Amino acid sequence: MNLGNTIRKYRKELGFTQEEMASRLGVTTPAVNKWENGNTLPDISMLAPIARLLGITTDELLAYKDELTDEEIEVFAQDLSVKINSDVPFEDMFNLAKEKVEKYPNCEKLKWKAAITLHSALIMKNVLDEDKYCDTIFLWYSQLIDAKDPFIRKIAAESLFHLNMNKKEYEKAQEYLKYFSDENPDKKLFNAQILAKTGKDDEAYTAYETLLFEQMSRLRMIVDALHVFCLEKNDMKLAKRTSELNCNIAKCFDLGVYQENAFRIMLAVHEKDVEATAEIMKQLIDSVDTILDYAKSDFFSHVTIEDVSDEFTENFRTKLIKRFVEEKRFDYMHENEYWKSLAGRIST
């Protein structure tokens, strides 16, 4: 948008006629008309009075805050991406993007797209004098660290972290972790990487293993929720696969026999499979003492895991048996001999 269009836009928003604007500025109506039509430009001494009258800054008056539409940004980004896979010299791509960003310096989405695209190209291509381009990309990311869009802020923080890690400037990389919440798994992963790179091996192991355990547990919860949903929808094919998946996750991470079978019971109950239910009940009851087997795994050898007493284990086993005997969902088991033996243990 040129200067004349900007003046017209804000004048109309305020409800001024060209005559009213001219009167307030002490110029002629034809002068305002010529500004808006692009025939002439206001004298430089008029820029501040025009901006004040229109209620905008001189930057806005000079169209420095114009935004491109999302569609325009996407088209530009795609065109730039196409050039990455062509024989176009990187310098030409860089200059094209730099010129566009300089034309719309306050367009955060454009700057983000340009930075990401050029950054990717630097990684993919063998570019000479890489540092001189990195400085500009780094500057753009730095300007986006306080962007209005939280997603762009996150991308900027991640990119600045990785740029500093590549430069082995670990203290600077650490500074960008403040832009992530403490519960963000990315922050925990990035922190572990810094610990590993700065010789803090034990702390790095602990950080990696703790994050691995948290994400593994979260994955199991998601699979379990999907499993329950499949049972509600009677989608037995996927229900069986999710049950098997949770069992395999437990095996993969050395969680022990109890955890391998913990989620199988729901499928057996849904199908009212007496023999399968009895088998799983027995496996769970007999393997209660394996609940903390993951503490023995190499995956979690640096994670502090509080041990449980024999009393806790036996209390847990007793409650488990009581649940199998008293919950209504197991009513179909009443004629099963193993279930009867459990009922007998509760009554004695």
| Cα–Cα distance measured from residue 226 to residue 310, given in angstroms and rounded to the nearest whole number | 34
Residue 3 has pLDDT above 90, yes or no: no
Q: How would residue 221 be classed by pLDDT, with cut points 50, 70 and 90?
A: very high
- What confidence score (pLDDT) does residue 345 get? 86
Residue 348 has pLDDT above 70, yes or no: no
- What confidence score (pLDDT) does residue 67 get? 66
Residue 234 has pLDDT above 80, yes or no: yes
Please state, for a pLDDT cut of 90, what percent of the chain lies above it. 62
Tokens of 313: 């284990």
| Cα–Cα distance measured from residue 6 to residue 35, given in angstroms and rounded to the nearest whole number | 10
| Cα–Cα distance measured from residue 261 to residue 282, given in angstroms and rounded to the nearest whole number | 10
**Start and end residues for every CATH 1.10.260.40 domain found in the chain:** 3-61
b/e map 326-343, b = 16+ CB within 10 Å: eeeebeebeebebbeebb
**Start and end residues for every CATH 1.25.40.10 domain found in the chain:** 70-197
| Cα–Cα distance measured from residue 280 to residue 342, given in angstroms and rounded to the nearest whole number | 13
- What confidence score (pLDDT) does residue 91 get? 87
* Single-letter amino acid code for the residue at 324: F
Which pairs from 266-269 meet CB under 8 Å and 24+ separation?
266/227, 266/228, 266/231, 267/227, 267/231, 267/239, 267/240, 267/243, 269/329, 269/330
Could you identify the residue written with the tokens 């996407």? Answer: 74
- What confidence score (pLDDT) does residue 9 get? 85
pLDDT average, residue stretch 283-289 = 95
Instruction: Assign domain 70-197 one CATH number from 1.50.10.150, 1.25.40.10, 3.50.50.60, 1.10.260.40.
Output: 1.25.40.10
Residue 122 has pLDDT above 80, yes or no: yes
Cβ atoms 264, 241 nearer than 8 A: no
Q: Does domain 3-61 sit in CATH 2.30.30.100?
A: no
| Cα–Cα distance measured from residue 106 to residue 153, given in angstroms and rounded to the nearest whole number | 14
- What confidence score (pLDDT) does residue 231 get? 95
Integer angstrom CA distances of residue 127 from 30, 84, 88, 116: 54, 12, 12, 16
Residue 1 has pLDDT above 70, yes or no: no
- Per DSSP, the residues of 125-191 read S--TTHHHHHHHHHHHHHHHTT-SSHHHHHHHHHHHHHHHHHTT-HHHHHHGGGGS-TT-HHHHHHH
| Cα–Cα distance measured from residue 31 to residue 35, given in angstroms and rounded to the nearest whole number | 6
pLDDT tens digits, 52-92: 999 888 877 876 555 678 888 999 888 888 887 787 888 88
Could you identify the residue written with the tokens 């024999």? Answer: 310
| Cα–Cα distance measured from residue 231 to residue 54, given in angstroms and rounded to the nearest whole number | 63
Cβ atoms 320, 313 nearer than 8 A: no
When the pLDDT of each residue in the chain is averaged and rounded to a whole number, the result is 90
- What confidence score (pLDDT) does residue 120 get? 85
Phi, psi of 78 (to 5 degrees): -65, -40
Integer angstrom CA distances of residue 103 from 75, 100, 107, 179: 16, 5, 9, 28
CA distance between the termini of the chain: 87
Phi, psi of 146 (to 5 degrees): -115, 30
pLDDT average, residue stretch 268-288 = 96
Regarding predicted confidence, which is higher, 255 or 122? 255
Backbone angle region of 126, left / alpha / beta, with phi > 0 → left and psi within -120 to 50 → alpha: beta
**For 304, how many CA atoms within 13 A lie in the half-sphere containing its CB?**
2
Rounded to two decimals, the pTM is 0.73
pLDDT tens digits, 150-200: 999 999 999 999 999 988 999 999 999 999 988 899 999 999 999 999 999
